[in-house]
Amino acid sequence: MKIVVLDGYTLNPGDLSWQPLEQYGELTVYDRTKTEEETIERIGDAEAIFTNKTPITPAVIENCPNLKFIGVLATGYNVVDTTAAKKRGITVCNVPTYGTAAVAQYSIALLLEICCHIGHHSRTVKEGRWEKCDDWCYWDYPLIELQDKTIGIIGFGRIGRQEGAVSRALGMNVLANDPYPTDAGREIADYVELDELYKKSDVISLHCNLTDDNYGMINGESISKMKDNVIIINNSRGQLVNERDLADALNEGRVQAAGLDVVSTEPIMPDNPLLKAKNCIITPHISWASLECRDRIMNISADNLKGYLDGVPVNVVL
């Protein structure tokens, strides 16, 4: 069996083994695949492929007649034209759960960096500022204590609940908004309507799937309902935020700070207004990228392929 990984570098830049996939056939791994033509050529007569962000378009599916299995090396599978795959009877599987702890940890890390500015102050010390200081300490930003403040988490699935539990451990009050409240969620947070969450939260953190209804939900109108000096955290989906409106609110001081690991177009475009916005931390979509997370993706992806070969596919998205 021929197996092709079209864009394996972000999953495995060299610190993991491809053995979990190699055991099922003749494996070819490409670091990156850039064009549709290159995708078709590289798939060739392979029966199974894996993609992270390389699009699997109708043309790719049409021109790869031997293709029977598509594994997505991630949770989101919008890079695959599932309608075209379904017409061909191709099994499409994803990795639905692998990074709950890491992604929640990262959202808290963004929040703590905003509150403490550890990176900035460490950098100024190494630049020699402390040794020249007239006082025994200094700080360049307001330092924020989180105890007794309220965090509002939009999207209270596994990751949202994990962040809520950590927030409670920090002494915060937790509000949640989710279309499907659960008993597990009620043990951590009070479920409220979105407008109430906006009104009461000192910190708003996004952990929801992207839908037509919530596209650009953080915008001028919703920000006007929030507390002055609110902090916004997003390591969910970049398209949840109207970036121009958030940049304006940051520059005008209506939003105190933002911590973002995702943007609307990735890699980020040089004209993204958030790049020049005040008090805005942006990291390059790495919440998911711990070694532990990537190892889980590798092994779950191999299990997906095994399930297909055994005739009992798992984590099927269609």
List, by residue number, the catalytic residues.
Answer: 237, 266, 285
H/E stretch holding 108: helix 100-116
Burial of 72 (0-12, 13-18, 19+ CB in 10 A): buried
Helix, strand counts (H, E) of the chain: 12, 12
Nearest residue to 260 (alpha-carbon basis) of 204, 212, 221, 210? 204
- CA torsion angle 161 165 170 174 (round to 10): 50
Q: Calculate the alpha carbon distances from 199 to 115, 159, 177, 246, 280 in Å.
A: 20, 23, 13, 17, 22
Cβ 73 vs Cβ 26: under 8 Å: no
Q: Which run of H or E residues covers position 257?
A: strand 255-260
Q: CA triplet 237, 30, 266: central angle to 5 degrees?
A: 20
From the list 223, 218, 254, the residue with the least C-alpha distance to 239 is 218
β 48-51/26-29 pair status: unpaired
By residue count, the chain amounts to: 318
HEC letters along 202-234: CEEEECCCCCCCCCCCECHHHHHCCCCCEEEEE
| Closest CA relative to residue 29, chosen from 53, 47, 12, 41 | 12
Q: Which residue from 66, 75, 70 is spatially nearest to 100, judged by alpha carbons?
A: 75
The dihedral over CA atoms of 289, 164, 251, 217, expressed in degrees to the nearest 10, equals 90
